[in-house]
Amino acid sequence: MVLRYLGQLDDGEFENALQELRLTRSIWTIDLAYLMRHFGVRHRFCTQTLGVDKGYKNQSFYRKHFDTEETRVNQLFAQAKACKVLVEKCTVSIQDIQVHLAQGHVAIVLVNSGVLHCDLCSSPVKYCCFAPSGHRCFCRTPDYQGHFIVLRGYNRATGCIFYNNPAYADPGMCSTSISNFEEARTSYGTDEDILFVYLES
């Protein structure tokens, strides 16, 4: 989605990059930073944890791939500087995000999808519409559900954030309040990961 916005998406090259970077099963924010670097896209990855937080091992969302992914992800963090992948351990404020968006840039944000809700989508769309009738939908569970969204703008007057949600077949514009966005992006499990992407490479 982001590469298409930047006019750098070639399906064949993209598929090759996914294979080369081993982005086929479990995707972490550091993986997306390496993907941006692969395509020469200027980026800045901000996180609260440089590596894998061992506290996530017993969370249902992480449990399945944790043991196999821990070493791989920690290696990516360790090699980031040498690979020219910009990673910083820092706190990002909503004001920092707004300044970035106001300049026409975008950002990929890890959120808890069980917390995030769109004010523009008709209720009860969210993620439940994808669950077969009678099945428990994860948007109503208290468990953390990591999901990436792409921030595209904000409205200071109304106090809302605009984003695209790749979970939808037609990822049109979604909107949520800043308070809901902040709750979703700072939920335990996200490490407050945000990948700032810049228009100019």
- The CA distances from residue 192 to 89, 142, 169, 173, 188, in Å, are 10, 18, 26, 22, 8
pTM: 0.85
For 117-135, write each residue's pLDDT tens digit: 999 886 544 444 444 444 4
Please count the CA atoms within 13 angstroms of the CA of 1 that sit on its side-chain side. Answer: 20
Tokens at residue 191, please? 């490490």
User: What dihedral do alpha carbons 79, 16, 30, 73 form, nearest 10°?
Assistant: -60
CB distance 163 to 79 below 8 Å:
no
- What is the reported pLDDT for 88? 97
For 74-114, write each residue's pLDDT tens digit: 999 999 999 999 999 999 999 999 999 999 999 999 999 99
For 167-199, write each residue's pLDDT tens digit: 776 667 899 999 999 999 999 999 999 999 998
Average pLDDT, the chain: 85
CB distance 128 to 140 below 8 Å:
yes
CB distance 101 to 195 below 8 Å:
no
Across 30-44, 57-71, 179-193, least confident range? 57-71
CB distance 8 to 39 below 8 Å:
yes
Give 42: exposed, middle or buried? Use CB within 10 Å, 0-12, 13-18, 19+.
middle
